[in-house]
Structure 1
Amino acid sequence: MGTPTPKINRLFASSSPKIGPNPSFDLHAFTQSPVKKDGKQHIVTPKVVQQNMVTRSKGKRKGKEISLGMSNEIGSNSDFEDEVASPSSKKKKVDSGKTSNPKKENEFHNVLQKDVKNGQTSKRNRAKPKLKVKKVQTRFCTYTNIKAIEHIKLRLKSKKQLQMFRETPFGHFLDLPNIKVHPQLIRSLMYAETDNDRDDMFIIKLNGEELFFGIREFAIISGLKCGMPSEFVSDHNSPNRLMDSYFPNQQRVLKSELISFYEGSICVGDDDLLKMSILYFISTFLFSTEPSKSYVSRLDFDLVESGEYRNYPCGNDCFYETLASVSHQLSGDPSYYRVRGFPLALQVWFYECCSKVDPFVATRIRNYIPRILNWQTSQDILYFDYLKRGMFKTYGNQVVFSNITPANDELPLLTELPDLPRPRTTTSDTPFVHGSLFEALKNEVVNVGIEFTIFNLF
């Protein structure tokens, strides 16, 4: 029989398919044939790795030992659990006759075996995962009772009752088209607010233009009476007939109780039905808050019962309630926010400032006064990301924004309002003053009237 062909450790095997008993290259490492133990074959770990296995190049630093490259391959392959070469993190000269430190070799061997069995790489090579913290976005909610007009029309069944409501300062809202409040649009406007110290107007900046929402804009949009403060005083100690008749033995009335009473089957006279309709409209539509946690104002009870609501500047209170709810409120980044007041006016004001409005958001259907009667909104849910990529996008926005100016027919809505200066804008070097526009338009109307009179004389 001939000499048996030695079995070459496949860790150091050549890629050549033919390997003779005496390979033509130097392995520079001691190899052993598999040893049978307990009926299984085991490969003995090499104990000596010579220094001349490292790669060298003239004029360059020494390369890493090939044993490190072996350990990386073992970590991803479970077939090499018993084939571990000694690591060498530091480049030291090793004599060909000396072996590596067996204690360190065994420690490395044990750690690497544990990682291989768990299907993981060594701890020193394992990258720490980066945790992605998802930012919680603020949830917005509004309580404007959009169906209030529909319920009022159902309760005021006769033409006489509807006409009585139409003659009140709130009668024009009977012509309100199909509209709803979009909380995500209000949220977008609040995020666009500029850093300012004004407490009498809401200022935003879109596409390089500053837009102002003050009490004048609120009056133009809503048509509510705004002007000098009223001298009417509500006395909480005095009895109120309307409150005592329909909510007896109650010091305060929840808005949810008023809603249940009005929308239920009540039987009252025309005068009291009109008063309850006005109270219901003011409390749930103009001054919207969470019905189950807020009360009907005693001032509203007294205004409606006395009839003073016809002269009271309700728009003042409504505007400042809305302004306090939307201005400078997102600095703390709350997780949930409720918008109070009359945000529908702010929403329609934004439409009026746009050169064009996305039809999916709103559509102008007519040209009435006040302007809140001219817009019909989509009944679909409007998402914040959709607005951010569309009308509110920072770059490439095709919408041109500009501040609204009153028409001649809208000037009577502003006669009782004081002249309030606007802050300096970033698009012009000269400040724009609210009152200057009003005075200029008024003088122009007067001049046209004088010229027309002179023309008739000749």
Structure 2
Amino acid sequence: MNDSNESQKLTCAVEENTYEAEEYEMVIHQPCIQYFMKLNTLGWAGQLLHNTLMRLTDHSDNGDALWFQVGEELGRFSIYEFGLITRMKCVGSTHLPPMAKPILIRRYFPTVRGVSRENLELQMSNAKFDNDEDVIKLSLLYIIFCIPLSNANSVKIDPKFFALADNLDEFNEFLWGVLSWEATRAAICATVDDRTSSKRRPLKKSRQVHYSIAGFPHALLVWAYESIPTMAAKFTTNYEQAIPRMLSWITADNVKFDEVMWAFTAVGENQII
């Protein structure tokens, strides 16, 4: 598990790109990403996330929700909690009809076979755009696929999202929350399945665990703070009620393994909210 604060780094990366002041203000205030651009106090507690993940119960028969065993209690993490934490739109269809090769791809990636986040990042760093609107459109795509729909740099982005970005109103109204939840849930389940099966394999010399989770796993961290009081007491430095709820928490990075284990052990009966 990577212990770097991905949200903070991504936010800073966007701020450091070459924007005119007016362009930058237009980007960070777009409805679909505005809250993520304020997400700079939520530390990336990799040990806490890992230990929460390893408490996932059998998820195959529990429908859409994920259930975590903490002490004698079961805690639910579903698209409902995900929506409350992120304030993303999480109800409705995400279907987009097939489209011709999008203008943005033809204009900026004419020779690229499948545009990845890495390609987007390179284009952003080059800062060569035909017009100001394209700066905003490509910036939004970059941020969406860095934070709520995070994945490996090399993963290709479906061209239909480039077509969607041509209409900023439709792009902002799109149900990114549904896709983010689906990606997060699938990544959590796949990670737990992989880690569970790896326990039965012969141990390698290195006992360190390194893996990443696609989607927006930070939401599960917030859920842990909100659902397990011992977690909030131990690992948060401040709480200020905010909307969305992911902006309420001020937390630390580099949480220690022993502290996490103590916090889970200290959970008594009826302490899962």
TM bin, normalised by shorter chain, reads: 0.7 to 0.9
Aligned to 1:60: none
The root-mean-square deviation of aligned C-alpha atoms, in Å, is 2.6
TM-aligned CA deviation for residue 260 of structure 1: 2.6
Structure with the greater alpha carbon radius of gyration: 1
Q: Name the structure where helix makes up a greater proportion of residues.
A: 2
Q: Contact 1:322 / 1:343 at 8 angstroms: preserved in 2?
A: yes
Q: Contact 1:258 / 1:280 at 8 angstroms: preserved in 2?
A: yes
Q: Describe the superposition over 1:177-228 as per-residue Cα deviations: whole angstroms up to 9, x where unpaired.
A: 3333322222111111123422411110213221111001000001111111
Q: Describe the superposition over 1:349-370 as per-residue Cα deviations: whole angstroms up to 9, x where unpaired.
A: 1111132545663333421110
Counterpart CA distance in 2 for 1:215 and 1:339 is: 17
Aligned to 1:302: 163
TM-aligned CA deviation for residue 281 of structure 1: 0.6
Q: Describe the superposition over 1:20-61 as per-residue Cα deviations: whole angstroms up to 9, x where unpaired.
A: xxxxxxxxxxxxxxxxxxxxxxxxxxxxxxxxxxxxxxxxxx
> TM-score of the superposition, structure 1-length normalised?
0.51
Aligned residue pairs, count: 257
Alignment of 1:363 onto 2:233: no
Q: Describe the superposition over 1:215-269 as per-residue Cα deviations: whole angstroms up to 9, x where unpaired.
A: 010000011111111342243xx12111121212222122222223224444553
Counterpart CA distance in 2 for 1:214 and 1:299 is: 27
Change (3 A) 1:152 1:216: same
Of all paired residues, the percent bearing the same amino acid is: 22
* 1:170-319 map, 5 Å: 170-196=33-59, 197-235=61-99, 238-267=100-129, 269-291=131-153, 293-307=154-168, 308-319=170-181
Secondary structure at the counterpart of residue 225 of structure 2:
helix
TM-aligned CA deviation for residue 340 of structure 1: 1.3
Q: Contact 2:27 / 2:140 at 8 angstroms: preserved in 1?
A: no
Change (3 A) 1:141 1:272: same
> TM-score of the superposition, structure 2-length normalised?
0.82
Alignment partner of 1:331 out of 187, 196, 200: 196
Structure 1 unaligned blocks of 5 or more: 1-139, 404-458
Q: Describe the superposition over 1:48-75 as per-residue Cα deviations: whole angstroms up to 9, x where unpaired.
A: xxxxxxxxxxxxxxxxxxxxxxxxxxxx
Q: Which moved more, 1:180-189 or 1:338-347?
A: 180-189
Counterpart CA distance in 1 for 2:111 and 2:166 is: 18
* 1:422-437 map, 5 Å: none
Alignment of 1:392 onto 2:264: yes
Name the structure, 1 or 2, with higher relative contact order (CA <8 Å, separation 6+): 2
Aligned to 2:183: 321
Alignment of 1:158 onto 2:31: no
Q: Contact 1:360 / 1:378 at 8 angstroms: preserved in 2?
A: no
Counterpart CA distance in 2 for 1:281 and 1:378 is: 23
Secondary structure at the counterpart of residue 150 of structure 2:
coil
Query: Amino acid of the residue matched to residue 397 of structure 1?
Result: V
TM-aligned CA deviation for residue 278 of structure 1: 0.5
